[in-house]
Amino acid sequence: MSSIMNTLNIGYSALNAAQVGVNTTGHNIANAEVDGYTRQRVVTSAQTPLELSPGNVGNGVEIVEIKRVFDNFVFDRYNSISADKEYSDYEERTLGELTTYFPEIDGVGVKSDLAEFYNMWQTFADNPTNDAIKMAVAKQTETLSSHIVQMTDQVSNLQQQVNEDLVVAVTEVNSLAEELSKLNTSIELAESGSAYTANDLRDKRNLIEVSLSKLIGADVHSGVINSDIRVDSLSNKTSGNYSLNVGGFNIVDGNSFHPLKVDNKESEKGFYSISYERQDGKLLPMENVIQNGKIGAMLELRGSTIETTSGEPIDGVIQNTVSELNAFSKGLIESVNNLYAEAPKTTMSSNVVNIGESDSLVNSSLNIKEGSFDLVVYNLDGEIAASRTINIDSATVMRGEKGSNSIEGQISVSGDDNENYNANDDIDDFFKDGFNFSRSADGSLRLELSIEASAESKGFSFSIQDVLKDKSFSSGTNFAGALGMSRLFDGDSATNIKLSNSLATQPTQLSAGKTSVDGDNSLALSMMQHQFESFDIHVGDKKTYSTTAYGMFDIIATGVGTASNSATTNNETISTQYNAIELEFFSTSKVSVDEEMTNLIKYQSSYSAAAKIITTIDQMMQTLLGIKQ
């Protein structure tokens, strides 16, 4: 039969169950505001009854387990949307900053400077001999150039900031992943040999998983999912092998940790690459497989593929903006300089070039097209003294024998350019020793054209004028512009565009005409027309835009604005989804203080009732002792 001591044990088990309930509830309340904490519940069950006649007699309550209320399915959705949210937040914030570098909507910025640049040429055309206006044109050219460089520096600095953020983020990923592998060891030890769950350790692990998902879009695989309706209708937990991977690369495998490597040794511009180190030490590039989380956004913005030659990314929103600014500036430099070569000079010297003497000009890296240009010599009165058409096709090279298909050969060949049977007043006579295409002492290669000293002393000068196929400025060869033979702008990109050194020191030497005659404003008028002309602007090897200088800048500014607006819209959508899923996750697992207070009252009442059992047994024992006396 059941003894009175057994009845006392029933009371004790009830007291213990109520006390553990109070402890667990207190633990929940204490951690209510702790990030990542999941509320816990006490799972109880009736102890095995005593088998007596006439039937089983209850034996009290036992605590089966203390389990957390956690739904892996909701958590996985929360994990995934957290990666999207972090990606979207970083993208919106960075592109928002990028748009501030393009203040065109407020009537200031590069486009406004460009309009003023053309306006100054109009003023110059009205007053072609006024030195003050020449200085004003030079000053406006400097202003335009400096603002382009400043804008490009801002965009490049933003790209470098993202590049440095990338290192910080990868370092944090490695730190969290290492901590995660150690937690897996602790969880394995805590749960080995028992049916109990290491609730608080699992909470810490889940918190790290969310952090890694936000940073790099990591995916977790941890065996099978087991439901436990005794805790909650949505509660379940995972068991089995654990791994955390990014794009198929296991960063954490159980209690093993595989760090990511960041290195910028292969990029002369300092751009970092990310790689995964295999067990054999081989590094596998990861930039193209990381597409989620904060790091995914960084790579999308900065560019994920680094070109080995230039050391720069070949993709990415910010890199595309830099490339387009460089293309805009190069197109502006070459097209303006191609026009400015029509101003007469006694000597023209090109930029440093990277072509050989026998390399095809059209097929080289220079933007020279098939067609022809005129080499024109003027006398002191601005009259044409000689003119020769130089033809360029796919086989034309720079140097060659007289009469060959080369620039030198066509200039040096004897001819009767003026059709007057005079052998001493043709182009070859004016440039007897005036073609020089050779390396200087520092190893740089330039083309230099110089009129004969005797002709120069008599006031002769020359210009290079493109022969336009259809009257549009872009239908010529761009020979002078591509080489930079006579320059208003120095430089070849948005990082180094500036007023030419010669005009910066002597701005009054600026030319308004295509001849040296006072009052000639034909060149200034052509510069005015330049703003309405379309040119082929090449953005690397990927795109070519046929548009005006205004149009190209509008393409850049519109692209940045569109990307920013799209990021903002996408962020609003993802934020709405994130808030809904976060609310669902919190409603399942987050501590509700009101609910816990209710549970506290419940366990307090249970404890009081259990105590009543003990006092009743005590009275019963006193009665028994009284009978004995």
State how far the Cα of 422 lies from the Cα of 361, in Å rounded to an integer.
Answer: 32
State how far the Cα of 465 lies from the Cα of 523, in Å rounded to an integer.
Answer: 11
Helix residue ranges, H only, 458-548 = 479-483, 501-505, 522-530
Q: Is the pLDDT of residue 217 over 90?
A: yes
Return the C-alpha torsion angle 182, 187, 190, 193, nearest 10: -120
- 432-436, 487-491, 533-537: lowest mean pLDDT where? 432-436
418 φ/ψ sector (left φ>0, alpha ψ -120 to 50, else beta): alpha
Assign 229 a pLDDT band (cuts: 50, 70, 90): very low
Please give the full DSSP string across 224-279, using - where no structure is assigned.
EEEE-TTT-TT-EEEES--EEEETTEEEEETTEE--EEEE-TT-TT---EEEEE-T
Assign 277 a pLDDT band (cuts: 50, 70, 90): confident
pLDDT score for 194: 67
Assign 240 a pLDDT band (cuts: 50, 70, 90): low
CB 98 within 8 A of CB 305: no
CB 520 within 8 A of CB 531: no
DSSP letter, residue 508: G
pLDDT of 122-145, one tens digit each?
999 999 999 999 999 999 999 999
Tell me the backbone φ, ψ of residue 182, rounded to 5 degrees: -70, -35
pLDDT of 555-591, one tens digit each?
999 999 999 999 999 999 999 999 999 999 999 899 9
Tell me the backbone φ, ψ of residue 389, rounded to 5 degrees: -90, 125
Q: Is the pLDDT of residue 227 over 50?
A: no
For residues 160-176, average pLDDT: 96
pLDDT of 4-33, one tens digit each?
888 888 889 999 999 999 999 999 999 999
pLDDT score for 237: 52
- 282-291, 316-325, 389-398: lowest mean pLDDT where? 282-291
Q: Is the pLDDT of residue 228 over 70?
A: no
Q: What is the CA radius of gyration of the chain?
A: 40
pLDDT score for 618: 87
pLDDT score for 300: 95
Assign 450 a pLDDT band (cuts: 50, 70, 90): very high
* Percent of residues, the chain, with pLDDT higher than 70: 96
Cα dist from 322 to 166, 546, 566, whole Å: 19, 19, 20
Peptide bond into 259 cis (omega under 30): no
pLDDT of 187-205, one tens digit each?
888 888 766 788 999 999 9
Tokens of 249: 């690369």
CB atoms within 10 A of CB 509: 13
pLDDT score for 230: 46
For residues 236-263, average pLDDT: 83
Q: Is the pLDDT of residue 538 over 80?
A: yes
Assign 629 a pLDDT band (cuts: 50, 70, 90): low
Cα dist from 617 to 603, 623, 628, whole Å: 21, 10, 17
For residues 97-118, average pLDDT: 88
Pairing of strands 283-285, 40-46: unpaired
State how far the Cα of 389 lies from the Cα of 452, in Å rounded to an integer.
Answer: 19
Nearest to 412, CA basis, from 379, 386, 434: 434
State how far the Cα of 429 lies from the Cα of 421, in Å rounded to an integer.
Answer: 13
CB 250 within 8 A of CB 242: no
Assign 2 a pLDDT band (cuts: 50, 70, 90): low
pLDDT of 343-387, one tens digit each?
999 999 999 998 988 999 999 999 999 999 999 999 999 999 999
Mean pLDDT of the chain: 91
State how far the Cα of 255 lies from the Cα of 524, in Å rounded to an integer.
Answer: 74
SS3 content of the chain, % helix, strand, coil (to 5): 50, 15, 35
Nearest to 301, CA basis, from 547, 90, 35: 90
233 CB-near residues (< 8 Å, 6+ apart):
none
pLDDT score for 161: 96
Burial class, 381, CB count within 10 angstroms (exposed 0-12 / middle 13-18 / buried 19+): exposed
Taking each helix axis from N to C terminus, what angle separates 72-99 and 131-191, rounded to the nearest 10 degrees? Answer: 170
Pairing of strands 236-239, 224-227: antiparallel
pLDDT score for 571: 96
Q: Is the pLDDT of residue 235 over 60?
A: no
Helix residue ranges, H only, 303-365 = 317-340
pLDDT score for 581: 95
For residues 470-480, average pLDDT: 93
Assign 282 a pLDDT band (cuts: 50, 70, 90): confident
